[in-house]
Amino acid sequence: MATRRSPRFKECRRLGVNVCGHPKALDRANSPAFKKNHKQSEYGLQLAEKQKVKAYYGILEKQMLRAYKEAARSNGNTGEQLLISLECRLDNLVYRMGFANSIRMARQMVSHGHMLVDGKNINIPSFKVKVGSTIQLVEKSRKSEQFKNCFLSQNRAPLSYITRDEQNFACTFSALPQRKEIPVDVKEQLVVEYYSK
């Protein structure tokens, strides 16, 4: 299975936003060594926004293109539909629900069989979760101090489309997110322009 293995902090500095969610990711961003002096072209801006989306969701180009084509076929704003579709991925929801402290950790938890979706063990990170589904940590994994610490202490900023049940180490994907609720700093229209050429 192909995964993104590029240096995370370097990618955050290049894109100018904290795509990996680590508190120290942009510590050196204002250093003179990383200052950009050239003006970006229109294509460069579009490419940067597309790279941001890929980095936020931890996906590769093939998966990104597939998600874009799916969004283009759906009704409504293509850019918004793209982000909503990516937000429904299992690995992303595991991260958003607080089971993991990064998208990479969430992906690994899913592929190693630590998560249940409506009582079934799903180990496909790109699995599309339906509204109303419950995502839960498997019984055996609840003994892990790292997983417990992540879910109960570190990630306690609930999103409006997620309902947490801390007692049972479970969360419910209660509604499709609106664009304003999705915590990603991207101009999705530029991504649409990039792919529609």
Per-residue pLDDT tens digits for 153-193:
766 567 889 998 888 999 999 999 998 989 888 899 999 99
Is the predicted pLDDT of residue 127 greater than 90, yes or no?
Answer: yes
Mean pLDDT value across residues 127-137 = 94
Please say whether the beta carbons of 15 and 56 come within 8 A: no
Residue 67's pLDDT is: 93
Mean pLDDT value across residues 25-52 = 72
Hey, how many other C-beta atoms are within 10 angstroms of the C-beta on 196?
10
Question: Residue 39: which pLDDT band, with cuts at 50, 70 and 90?
Answer: confident
pTM: 0.84
Mean pLDDT value across residues 86-94 = 93
**Considering the chain, what is the average pLDDT of its residues?**
84
Render pLDDT for 94-124 as a digit per residue (tens, 0 to 9). 988 889 888 888 999 999 999 999 999 999 9
CA distances to 72, 171, 173 from 99, in Å: 31, 9, 14
Residue 192's pLDDT is: 93
What is the rounded distance in angstroms from the CA atom of residue 34 to the CA atom of residue 41?
A: 19
Question: Residue 87: which pLDDT band, with cuts at 50, 70 and 90?
Answer: very high
Please say whether the beta carbons of 78 and 192 come within 8 A: yes
Q: Burial, 169: exposed, middle or buried (Cβ in 10 Å; 0-12, 13-18, 19+)? A: buried
Question: Residue 15: which pLDDT band, with cuts at 50, 70 and 90?
Answer: low
- What proportion of the chain, given as a percentage, has pLDDT over 90? 40
Residue 26's pLDDT is: 58
Mean pLDDT value across residues 54-69 = 90
Is the predicted pLDDT of residue 152 greater than 60, yes or no?
Answer: yes
Question: Residue 75: which pLDDT band, with cuts at 50, 70 and 90?
Answer: confident
